[in-house]
Amino acid sequence: NWLIKPFTMAFFAWIFFSKLYSAFISPELAGEFIAGAILLGAAPCTAMVFVWSYLVDGDPNYTLVQVSVNDLIILVAFIPIVGLLLGITNIKIPYDALLASIVVFVVIPLFAGYITHKMLTKRKGEEWYTKKFLPRFKPVSIMALLLTLVLLFAFQGVIIIKNPLLIVLVAIPLVIQTYFIFFVAWFGGRKLKLPHAICAPAALIGASNFFELAVAVAIALFGLKSPAAMVTVVGVLVEVPVMLSLVKLANRWKY
């Protein structure tokens, strides 16, 4: 999740946008595309992976632990990794804006959730919190995500419609990266003789992207209509169908 994936994403983005696509896009545009891809691949998903794990009969306890660990690692690893990779590709970013984005979109929600859980379970109990409180907020999280996507597509929709070939070109390295990381994690897990209930969700977590965070940071750093933000939007477009295809593979190779 952290020692391989961010760097392979940066590598594939550099190869495609700076080298293979050099005849089609300018160096400036390539730089922003690379930045968007780096943000997209810098952290694994911590939400939809529960769905993917369920679909492959993954161990729910293992999935919960890995997601929790990834959430904590994000706090200390996301900024250094993004800063390092963007620096290598000669993309200058304001670190204060990057830090502010992590605080707003990760740290504050994490601690707010922790404090809410602590206070309400102390007053009402764990059962009330799980069965009464949490179900009320499930529609809110879904609606918030949908609203974000609607706003993104509202600003990026014209570009997507007018430049379908550009969208395909952007999607190619993102799809290759997702499949590559899945195979690395899958065959690595098989080599380590991990049971299917752990190997499958581990591979899917590694292959997925924390696109909500990537979208938010890309907008904060480069702007809502920027090419970097567009790459993260393309990441949203391809994530679900690609991940469903990997779920099908994991179930076909079940052992």
Question: What are the angstrom distances between the C-alpha of 203 and each of 48, 49, 66, 141?
Answer: 13, 10, 11, 25
Does pTM top 0.75 for this prediction?
yes
Q: Give the per-residue pLDDT at 252.
A: 95
Q: What is the length of the chain?
A: 255
| φ/ψ (deg, to 5) at 26 | -75, 160
Q: Are the C-beta atoms of residues 160 and 224 closer than 8 Å to each other?
A: no
| pLDDT per residue rounded down to tens, the chain (255 residues) | 899 999 999 999 999 999 999 998 999 899 999 999 999 999 888 778 888 999 999 999 999 899 889 888 988 899 899 989 988 877 777 788 888 888 888 888 888 988 998 999 988 898 888 888 888 877 777 787 778 777 777 777 777 788 788 899 999 999 999 999 999 999 999 999 999 999 999 999 999 998 888 888 888 888 888 899 889 989 988 988 999 999 999 999 998
Cα 239 from Cα 243, distance rounded (Å): 6
Q: Give the per-residue pLDDT at 240.
A: 87
Question: What are the angstrom distances between the C-alpha of 102 and each of 60, 82, 89?
Answer: 27, 11, 21
Check if CATH label 1.20.1530.20 holds for domain 5-252: yes
Angle, CA 35 vertex, CA 204 and CA 80 arms, to 5°: 75
Q: Give the per-residue pLDDT at 9.
A: 96
Where in the chain are the domains? 5-252
Nearest residue to 155 via CA among 220, 236, 238, 219: 219
